Structure 1
């Protein structure tokens, strides 16, 4: 990194109890570095997007991200001694930039978040990352340590802000998380009763105990963020439509696989295939992965970034997979009818291939024109 690049710092942001202190530390350390080196410092506060264009709440989530970045800017201005109503003086040693990144990406794993952040860092020639010790890009999932590890694979200096963390209280269920725990408890309870039956008091009591244990152990990791009860009825109604459709697909796949097994030549052709699925969020991705596994002939082996790795036993099972019927149905459940019209994996691959061919042709045409100009 050249010395003329100045002091350039990247700070990933999200709602956390130590965000305010992290902002203060990042601004203060950047100002100290700028004063020591005599160079101007820029601190980039970046919010990785967790929504997709087809999500019904995308506008609301974007507004929340913008509101958080606005708060960060005000905090930084306070720490720099700049009045909110006045523009930051041109002679200030530190300036602040904010951005929402990854809106067109599928951010699922720590590697996904790191890829987007590192891309932004390269684009803006950044040299250092300051990480909030309570930052969790994946909601409640513990992703901070893996994210830091992915970031350290680059040339960036990665530092965790040395700020004091608030003491964690012992309350199991906070007021803000009560809807989430109630939803997990209710879902677990109904599932237990559906499997065991409603035969008597014993099932009712043991079901409540089992659901309580599940809620206590998994309540903080089952859902990211708070459930949106306004969307829940619609999703449940579409899920009720999806369930018999999935059962029909499973039945068809069973018949097809039984024919293959009973065929004297056993016409199987097992292969590993991969495709980019147009579903976003943990629950939709998990639903699609499990639906593929439940359908005989295909098995979800891994979900990484935007790619699903599937073991397919026959050509017909691969064709059904790339036709995208299950993917389209899952999008319908979680995002509504509008999202169901997104092209299938086969159609997306064909479009991408056509664009690649066109780019190569344009590149050849450009090189030919340059050669002719050079000859002239």
Structure 2
């Protein structure tokens, strides 16, 4: 039965209980294998929320190091002698892998799908989940992930390990950073929309921002804002805005030419675009920037990338050239990150004919 299988998948990530979960998983696999005589295997899988575009991607390096640490833990718990005879199998085969590098992972269903695809491809039929595992970053989502996994034919269980006691300050450093950024963003937005800085607006704005912070600061950001990276990103965003406005102006002239041309030279098509950005805010920025540029419209964002409607060939050429993509990467990842191959060179854009009745932005 799957619930007593020695072929186990364990989604892993940095957490307070991952070490004990690793020990439980290899212990379970070994115990079941001894009872059934089957070969035991445990796959520790790390779903990533970024894509491997650059070989020296820091997140990839950290993930490889983390998975190697997990492997060492598992082999230590197995207490298997590596100098044993070659014909003597290890009691549990330990494998590690990264998955999702070619997907956009947002919802619990996205993470579950990529994990289940891996489990089926490797012949695994049991999942053990770390109780503190948060694949979406610091935003809580374990229960929905378990529910998504449980809809498959795999046996899913939560590792019965002791969770750390939640003590100390109500807000830790990471939570304070989230709260401060949520409050500041909400307060500034309120004042900009209000248009005045009267004592009444300042007071109601502060109250509104405080309520939003109390209710939303824990889920407003997947990762804790970095006090080192955020100011630099804001500064680069100030450079990005005039660039985007210039691109919008050029695109407006191009669309105006098409509209005024007697033959109306349009060639509408749909394109699948896997941009070299990841995470909710960068992908949202990329999708909205495409939509704001006349001639192109982001129709959908899914696990396989962005679905973009383009009005004519020149709009598709601009998208395939990657100028906007590089600009967004510059904002979020720095100047060095903008030096990447174009979407065409990477094979990250595919085009299909649009239906004749569709129109573009």
Q: Aligning the two structures, in what range does the TM-score lie when normalised by the shorter sequence?
A: 0.7 to 0.9
Show CA shifts across 1:152-202 (max 9, x none).
676644444456767878986334321122122222323333343453322
Structure 2, unmatched stretches of 5+, are 352-361
Provide the residue aligned with 1:250 in structure 2: 248
With over 3 angstroms needed to count, the CA separation of the structure-2 counterparts of 1:212 and 1:69, relative to structure 1, is farther
SS in 2 for 1:46: strand
**Within 5 Å, which residues of 2 pair with 1:254-333?**
254-262=252-260, 266-333=264-331
Provide the residue aligned with 2:42 in structure 1: 43
CA contact (8 A) 2:71 2:96 kept: no
Q: Which has the higher helix share?
A: 1
Provide the residue aligned with 1:101 in structure 2: 98
CA contact (8 A) 1:131 1:161 kept: yes
Shift of 1:151: 4.8
Show CA shifts across 1:38-77 (max 9, x none).
3342322222334445679943663366347626753784
Provide the residue aligned with 2:115 in structure 1: 117
The alignment of Structure 1 onto Structure 2 pairs a total of residues equal to 345
With over 3 angstroms needed to count, the CA separation of the structure-2 counterparts of 1:65 and 1:179, relative to structure 1, is farther
Shift of 1:22: 3.5
CA contact (8 A) 1:18 1:132 kept: yes
Show CA shifts across 1:214-258 (max 9, x none).
323332222222222222233222211111011112222233334
SS in 2 for 1:302: strand
Show CA shifts across 1:340-365 (max 9, x none).
22222233339999xxxxxxxxxxxx
CA contact (8 A) 2:269 2:309 kept: yes
Show CA shifts across 1:268-324 (max 9, x none).
454432222121222211110111122223222211124211233344333332232
- Normalized against structure 2, the TM-score is what? 0.76
SS in 2 for 1:177: helix
CA contact (8 A) 2:42 2:92 kept: yes
Structure 1, unmatched stretches of 5+, are 354-376
SS in 1 for 2:192: helix
Among 191, 199, 219, the residue aligned to 1:201: 199
CA contact (8 A) 1:40 1:93 kept: no
CA contact (8 A) 1:9 1:44 kept: yes
With over 3 angstroms needed to count, the CA separation of the structure-2 counterparts of 1:55 and 1:315, relative to structure 1, is closer
Range moving further from structure 2, 136-145 or 239-248: 136-145
Provide the residue aligned with 2:31 in structure 1: 32
Range moving further from structure 2, 200-209 or 286-295: 200-209
- Cα distance in structure 2, aligned partners of 1:202 and 1:76: 63
- Cα distance in structure 2, aligned partners of 1:68 and 1:104: 15
CA contact (8 A) 2:236 2:331 kept: yes
Shift of 1:116: 4.7
- Normalized against structure 1, the TM-score is what? 0.74
- Cα distance in structure 2, aligned partners of 1:63 and 1:348: 24
**Within 5 Å, which residues of 2 pair with 1:96-245?**
97-102=94-99, 104-109=101-106, 110=108, 113-114=111-112, 116-118=114-116, 120-121=118-119, 124-141=122-139, 144=142, 147-148=145-146, 151=149, 156-161=154-159, 173-197=171-195, 199-245=197-243
